Amino acid sequence: MGLLGEEDETWRVYRAMHGELPCMADVHTYDGFVITGSCSDAHGDDRWINDLVSFLRALDSMKKKVLGVCFGHQILSRALGGKTGRAMKGWDIGVTCIRLSPSAIKLLSSLHIPSHLPIIECHRDEVWQPPPHAEVMACSEKTGVEMFRYGDHMMGIQGHPEYNKDILRHLLDRLLQRNLIQACQAETAKASLEAQEPDREAWKRLCRGFLTGKLSW
């Protein structure tokens, strides 16, 4: 599984958009779940989105580990009672430096995570309001909820820890071809790729530390 997987682990891929979700009878056999990005809206009302919301609520009741990334971050927030929608400041595309909260810095100190953490972003939706009792762990200039945690078993990340620069360049070309962004937005995003590097190693430590229970919440 790219950034997160190790050789001695077994990962299964389910395409929720096509109605694929783990059987509830088998959920106990999984150590955790990662909900990835999607071109769909987390605030949408498609059947598969509602099914995924129900599935995430069931995982919460079982206290299963869940990491949500981009769309996964937003749908996880929605499932837990938060609010999502179109980003107030529009598209956020490129390398963005997020700022960890003081409590998150302390929480992640054992993993040597820097307080300012570059990550590749590509989203036009966001979490407007985090779930009740959730803790906002990070923000950025454009996005108020870059990360949140809910208890010790659920965490959302708005950016893409798994993306590299080539992936983003490909996405920029696709977005331009579909007239979803303007040329000036693409140029700004490309300039951010040259200005700083996403800290993929730090993000790997953070994500795996969460999924493997190495954080002291």
For the question of residue 139 being annotated catalytic, the response is: no
**DSSP tag of 63:** T
CA 94 to chain centre: 15
For the question of residue 153 being annotated catalytic, the response is: no
Q: Give the active site residue among 70, 73, 123, 153.
A: 70
Q: Give the active site residue among 20, 162, 194, 207.
A: 162
Residue 156: closest CA among 11, 33, 30, 20: 33
The packing angle between helices 183-195 and 165-177, to 10°, is 170
CA distance 28 to 24: 8
For the question of residue 170 being annotated catalytic, the response is: no
Residue 3: closest CA among 217, 169, 206, 196: 206
H helix or E strand, kind and range, residue 34? strand 32-35
Q: Give the active site residue among 73, 123, 153, 160.
A: 160
Q: Which residues are identified as catalytic?
A: 70, 160, 162
